[in-house]
Amino acid sequence: MTLTEIEGYRVYYGCIPSNYPNIVDIKNGTANAATVSSVPVGDYYIVMTTYDSKGLESTQSGVVSKQAL
């Protein structure tokens, strides 16, 4: 998938590593930032993917962690 083929992004997150039950769909292939708000206080593990107009989705990125305060 090239940059011009990206239709959007999906951000997956959860409180347990390798378990991401929450999904934020960013339907903008040129977005370079997103905010996830209104989550309970705690530690979160986050991965993301890209997808194209045919619905093909990339593999997940490496995991990052973030603490919601």
CB 28, CB 8: distance < 8 Å: yes
pLDDT at 16 (0 to 100): 96
Q: How many domains does the chain have?
A: 1
For 44, the domain range is 3-68
Asked if pLDDT for residue 64 goes beyond 90, the answer is yes
Enter the DSSP assignment of 38. S
For the beta sheet containing 64-68, the strands, ordered from the edge strand earlier in sequence to the opposite edge, are 22-26, 6-14, 42-52, 64-68
In whole numbers, what is the pLDDT of the chain averaged over residues?
94
pLDDT at 3 (0 to 100): 76
pTM above 0.85, yes or no: yes
Whichever domain contains 7, its CATH number is 2.60.40.10
Number of other CB atoms surrounding residue 44 within 10 Å: 18
